[in-house]
Structure 1
Amino acid sequence: MALLDLPHSHDYFAEMFHSLGIQPTVRFRSTSAGTCRAIAARGLAYTLLNAKPQGVGKDEARRVVRDRLRKGSIRSMFEAGQ
């Protein structure tokens, strides 16, 4: 995972994962949503962002998948081994 490591975002994701009993493997940390997106776009990790992406670059635009999380979708993703 590429973790958006800002004070509120870090706490938000830590609590979300904890409440689901999930401990993701954080391979990258950044205070930049753009850096997290770039890492994910290059297939190095996945990322979850709690903000709407702005200004996605041309090369990254093909790989960015934006979707609203639904109850149970994160647990399902981890149970599937993604």
Structure 2
Amino acid sequence: MAPRSSTTGAGESMRTAPCATPPACTERFTTAVSQLGDESAALRLGGVHALAGLAHDAPTRALRQACVDVLCHLGRIRA
């Protein structure tokens, strides 16, 4: 899969780097999941977007599924 890109307010392109190594994937996953438990709604939403981005960039199906599982569980406990 190609890296996702988005446009910043200044018209510059911003890319998310795919996980090149397992430690990089683990760090992204851990950071995103820790944001989900924050008191700030903005940080929780950032964690959701980070997990979605990681699922998109995931080099393995197992990591992609782990991201989806966490997001689905979050939807169940917050509903």
Which structure carries more relative contact order (alpha carbon 8 Å, separation 6+)?
A: 1
Q: Which entry has the higher C-alpha Rg, 1 or 2?
A: 2
TM-score, normalised with respect to structure 1: 0.28
Bigger helix fraction: 2
TM-score under structure 2 normalisation?
A: 0.29
